[in-house]
Structure 1
Amino acid sequence: MPQEHSFPKRFVALAVGLLAFAGIASADQLGTIKQRGSLVCATLGTAEPFSFSDPATREIRGYDVDFCKAVADSLGVKLELKLVAVEARIPELSQGRVDIVAANLGYSPQRAEQIDFSHQYFVSQQKIMVRTGDGIRAFSGLNGKRISAPKGSSSEQAVKAKVPGAELLTFQDPPSAFVALLQGKVDGFALSELASTRFMRQVAGKTELMLLPESMMAEPWGLGVRKGEPALLKHVNDTLAGMERSGEAAKIFDKWLGPATLYKSSRDFSIGPIATASR
């Protein structure tokens, strides 16, 4: 009979122990952040009022930045911002170069397969901007036309789903996609309603623009956390829930988007788990 080969029990025990240690290490980003003394948060830096460079101070400020700061403060560590492009948000997180992502990151089932999402901390309407003089008043008027969107964004995916008859052109960031509309290279520009409003105000009196009344989608935004980090995800969610209870989340909304701002928006959502069943 052939001999059965077996490893000594001490080697088996050692291997099991190493695997267990590796599992703990890979799932202890929360401990790493505390030990390091800083939270690295990815944000766009080009999406006012969510994250943008203040002309006076050159500092990155905004709605997303304030939520990053709140998470860092809850951990007792300093905040480090890392500016990323839209399409780099998930790779930067998955490859461990950032701890969390607060960068206009809309939920989708496809993204949820790659990363974990926190509770929603914002809900965005995705819309299409057109030149008023072109006579386009509905999605149907964009069939056969060109629409710009930031590469890798939810807006890009929404155009594919809602205006499949249009030709989609993607750009590195929202400003570049907006300029394409101003220069007549495209007939529509897809982005969140609030960000679009800001762009329209920048050229008020120079170029007549409008948002089509139809919404491509209502998109909940969450903070992105790497898969396999339950402790960090729980801490982020607990922090967000606490901000909702204390009123801090509402104050941040009013600071950047409320009635006293250019956007004159009202908060019609609350922080809580993203409803995925119907999505």
Structure 2
Amino acid sequence: MKRAYLIAAAALASALAVTAHADTLAKVAADGKVVFAYRESSVPFSYLAGPGKPIGFAVDITSAVLAEIKKQTGKTDLEVGWQAVTSANRIPLLVNGTIDLECGSTTNNSARGKDVAFAINHFYTGTRLLVKKSAGIKDWADLKGKKVAITTGTTNMQVARRYSEEKGLGLDIIATKDHADAALLVETGRADAFAMDDILLYGLKANAKDAAALDVVGEALQVEPYGCMLRKDDPKFKALVDGVITGMMKSGEFTKLYDKWFLKPIPPRNQAIGLPMSKELQDNIRQPSDKPAT
């Protein structure tokens, strides 16, 4: 009984320490290790180029953050861990201390801001549709009563459900584990569309086996910003991450990184997404902001 009590007390103390979010930099320095999150199929932000090899726009931002962490902690030999996350588990794994930073394709909104903090916004996107060209679907109205795949744990699920109710579309929503699973449902004809952030749809299309057979269509529902997630109430670490991203924006490195991942051919199929920088992102480079979507 005493041993069980001690174990429970230790677990509670550990949870409280993480919840307090006193100082991620101090935690990293003490552990000699930092753990970053990555996504397996959020092209071109964070995805796998091979087993255990995450690459992408957000992964490059993470690497820049790592360099600054080493500089500020004086730990040049930090052990770096990479943890795969999904839309459903990314916030819990950050809050409980399993990961220290998540840079991917996560929408910065006020609801999530109750549990986590966000760095400077690094992208803006809206919910659109990935479809087969042969399906003849051009907009949301063409999906009335049809099957629409959406990744579990995303804001797109809420946006699409609300839109379906408002317009009386009666969408038959299929929840999937990740973006690749949803895209596969469309490619194999088991779903009529995949509703997701348009940039992720462009990325999946560019890397599909038959990219010419797919199209990104429909009105963009609710333009939202992406931001790197970190634990709440940790001003030192937020200042570090914000400083890195703002510095990249001011130096021109951010624009070079954007060109690399959005305008030039990218792995694994060496296809270019071909998406010019949006006005919202251009404005955010001139005046960096971490303002959330409502």
Three-state SS of the structure 1 residue aligned to 2:126 is strand
Equivalent pair of 1:105/1:222 in contact (CA under 8 Å): yes
Using the size of structure 2 for normalisation, the TM-score is: 0.79
Pairing 1:43–2:38 present? yes
1:135 is aligned to 136
Contact 2:46 2:54 in 1 (8 A): yes
Unaligned runs of 5+ in 1: 1-21
Q: Secondary structure at the residue paired with 2:153?
A: coil
Tell me how far 1:205 sits from its aligned partner.
Answer: 5.0
Aligned partners of 2:25 and 2:158: how far apart in 1? 32
Conserved 8 A contact 1:34-1:75? no
The one-letter code of the counterpart of 1:62 is: G
Tell me the alpha carbon deviations over residues 14-68 of structure 1, each in whole angstroms, 9 at most, x when there is no partner: xxxxxxxx7997411222123333331111122222222224x862111111111
**Judging changes above 3 Å, is the alpha-carbon distance between structure 1 residues 205 and 183 closer, same or farther for their aligned structure 2 residues?**
closer
CA–CA distance in 2 between the matches of 1:251 and 1:206? 26
RMSD: 2.4
User: Within 5 A, what are the aligned runs for 1:53-72?
Assistant: 53-55=48-50, 59-72=53-66
Say if 2:150 and 2:194, in contact at 8 Å, map to a contact too.
yes
Q: Distance in 2 between matches of 1:197 and 1:161?
A: 24
* Distance change >3 Å, CA 143–CA 109, structure 1 → 2: farther
Q: Does the CA contact (< 8 Å) of 1:87 and 1:152 recur in 2?
A: yes
Q: How far 1:260 moved relative to its partner?
A: 5.7
Q: Which amino acid aligns with 1:174?
A: H
Distance 1:102 1:206 in 2: 27
- Letter matched to residue 211 of structure 1: V
Q: Contact 1:27 / 1:230 at 8 angstroms: preserved in 2?
A: no
The letter of the residue matching 2:62 is C
Hey, what's the Cα distance between the residues in 1 that align with 2:145 and 2:94? 37
Answer yes or no: is 1:172 the counterpart of 2:167. Answer: no
Q: Secondary structure at the match of 1:217?
A: strand
Q: Partner of 1:87: helix, strand, or coil? A: coil
Aligned pair in 2 of structure 1 residues 30, 138: CA closer, same or farther (>3 Å)? same
Q: Is the 2:100–2:231 Cα contact (8 Å) retained in structure 1?
A: yes
Determine which of 232, 239, 251 is the counterpart of 1:227: 232
* Structure 2: runs of 5+ lacking an equivalent: 1-16, 267-271
1:85-104 alignment, distance < 5 Å? 85-104=86-105
Deviations 1:145-177, CA, capped at 9 Å, x for gaps: 111011112222221233333121111111111
| Displacement after TM superposition at 1:238 (Å) | 1.6
Q: Secondary structure at the match of 1:152?
A: coil
CA distance in 1, matches of 2:255, 2:206: 24
Counterpart for residue 13 of structure 2: none
Please state if 1:253 is matched with 2:258: yes
DSSP-derived class of the 1:119 partner: coil
Count the aligned residue pairs.
256
Matched residue of 1:198: which SS? helix
Distance in 2 between residues matched to 1:149 and 1:59, nearest whole Å = 25
- Equivalence for 2:199: 194
Counterpart of 2:117 in structure 1 is 116
Distance 2:131 2:18 in 1: 51
Q: Tell me, yes or no, if the aligned pair for 1:118 and 1:223 is still in contact at 8 Å.
A: yes
1:210–1:163 CA distance, 2 compared to 1 (3 A): farther
Indicate conservation of the 8 Å contact 1:149/1:171, yes or no: yes
Which residue in the other structure is 1:13 paired with?
Answer: none
Q: Give the one of 267, 276, 292 matched to 1:266.
A: 276
What's the counterpart of residue 6 of structure 2?
A: none
Instruction: Tell me the amino acid that sits aligned with residue 140 of structure 2.
Output: F
Report Cα offsets for 1:228-269 as digits up to 9, x if no partner: 212211221122111111112112111111256601222231
Tell me which residue corresponds to 1:237.
242
For structure 1, which segment, 218-227 or 42-51, has the greater mean C-alpha deviation from structure 2 after superposition?
42-51
Q: Structure 1 residues 36 and 163, CA, compared in 2 at 3 Å: closer, same or farther?
A: same
